[in-house]
Structures are given as C-alpha cells and as structure tokens.
Amino acid sequence: MTQVQKKRIGFIGLGSMGKAIATNLIKANFPLTVFDIREEPLLEMKKLGAKVAKSAKEVGQECDTVVVMVLNYPQIKQVVLPPEGLLSSMRKGSTLIVTSTISPLEIMEVDKAAQQYGISVVDSPVSGGHERAVEGTLVLMVGAEEKVFKDHEYILKAMGKYIYYTGGVGKGQTVKMINQLLVGVHQVATAEALIMAEKLGMDLKVLHEIISNSLGDSAVWRMFGPRMIDRDFEPRGSVNTMTKDSRAVVQTAVELGTPILISSIPYQIFRLAESRGLGEKDIASIMTIFEEYAGIKTSD
C-alpha cells in the first residue's frame, strides 16, 4: 500500500478556491473527507467521490491530515479550537494544514494551541487565484518544521505546482502578506490606469495587449485588466477577502513601525468598495469607484 493510500485527508472550507483544491486532491487519488456549512459544495464533492462529514470534529476524528481553507481568523478559530473544533478530535501525531490567509501572529497562535494536543501545523497560504486553483498551478508558501514539511510535501504537490519552503510556522503567512501588499497596489493601479486611458479615448483591449508586452506588465494586470474592461464582476476573489488581507498589511506595518505610504491606500479603496455594496463582488469591481469619480463607464 502506498503512502498516498495510507494517508487519510480531510478538507474544510469548500469556497471558490477550496473546492478547486479539494477536487485536485481527489484527482490525485487521496481518500478525502470534506466539510462545509453549505450543502451545495458538499453534494458536488460527494459526486466526485469524497466522503461528507457532518462537522469539523468528525473530519478530525477520521483523518490523519486536515486542510483548512476558510475566509478569516474568526472562522479558523471556530473550525480549529475546542470545544467544537478540530483540535478536540484530531489524534496526537496528526497534522493541520492551514491554507487560509491570516496574519503571522494568528497562525502562530494556532500552532501554540495545536502543540498542546501533539498536533503539527503546516502554515501554507496559497497564491494564484481561482483559475490557477482549478488548474493545479497555485503557489504554496510553506512554513513548518522542516521534517513536517518533508513528510507532507507530496500532499502539497497535489494542491499546487510551485511549493516554496520558507522556514518555521509564521513564515508562510509572512510571505503571503507581502505578496498581498503588492497585489493590492497592482489592483488599484490597474483600475486607475484603465480609467485614465478611457478618458483619453484609448481602445482598452489594444492598450491591455500592449502593456502586457511592456514593462508596465504584471500578473495582476493580465488577470484583472480583462475583467475590468469587460465589467466581469462575478467573484473569483472577493473585495471582502482583499479588505481582510490589506487590513493585516496595515496593522502589521503599524506594529512594526515600517512605512507603507502607497500600500496603505488599497485598504481604504477596498473599504470604500465594501461601503458601496461591492463586498461579495470580484476585485475587478473596484474600477466602478474610479469610474464614479471620473464620470465615465467603460461600457459607454
């Protein structure tokens, strides 16, 4: 019997990203037990061959390694901490993999709690968005004890293509936070650039192709530019998520006393977008904030 067949994997949090990652674990022939508070994704995963648990606690009882991908730290605490969370049911020697984006301090609090139960933590936030989650080409930024990382690397490789070991628990979230600092700036800059170009009468699709082959190019420009041009605001990654991530950037910078003169601005833009009812929309929807101030719409 192979190592993959022996290892029983649990997965909690079947949102846009989580469901795609869980699907890839099934495709890699891992025996998978899943849980989510919503019925629809559970039914979809059951059709693919996953076992459906009735609670997070049940996932912990049945699995050797549990992957958690929920939205924020309050949800992490609800899913992980006793009395109803995973730690009260997972066996000593098992492993918790946290792929949610939270702060370095928050993941270290989870690790401290897990140590009391003899459970290892792998701090492994991801980057790449919904499309790359489906393709299995995500970047994983992994913080863990080196032995724990090596023991679970084959599982991580079923979740993404680029696996980077960053050091101990907390380092994965540190890298992800810096990544999100840059992503937020690029998203806001993409919206501003497109609105300015529209005001100047430029064909935005022509512009997008040119910039994609110039020094102004970025992964964010390539991903979000077409969505903004086409006004495609169906959520792959929501404004709410980027508000959460950019808030962590600002709070950490304040605590460290480091300057973030430019990268604090996206947090304010995302908050403004939430106040306009865009919280559940795709990040591309922030362009409507700039349209309002510019007095145009790209569909005009």
Active-site annotation, residues? 176
5 Cα distance to chain centroid: 27
- The DSSP-derived string for 18-47 is HHHHHHHHHHTT--EEEE-S-HHHHHHHHH
Give 27-34 contacts, CB < 8 A, sequence gap 24+: 27/158, 28/4, 28/158, 29/4, 29/5, 30/4, 30/155, 30/158, 31/5, 31/7, 33/8, 33/9, 33/58, 33/59, 33/62, 33/63, 34/10, 34/59
φ, ψ of residue 97 in degrees (nearest 5): -105, 115
Name the DSSP letter for residue 279: T
d(CA 79, CA 77): 5
Q: Where are the beta strands (DSSP E) in 103-227?
A: 120-123, 126-127, 139-143, 162-167
Q: Hey, which residues does 238 pair with through a beta bridge?
A: 282
β-strands 65-68, 9-12 pairing: parallel
SS3 content of the chain, % helix, strand, coil (to 5): 55, 10, 35
Rounded to whole angstroms, the Cα distance separating 18 from 298 reads 32
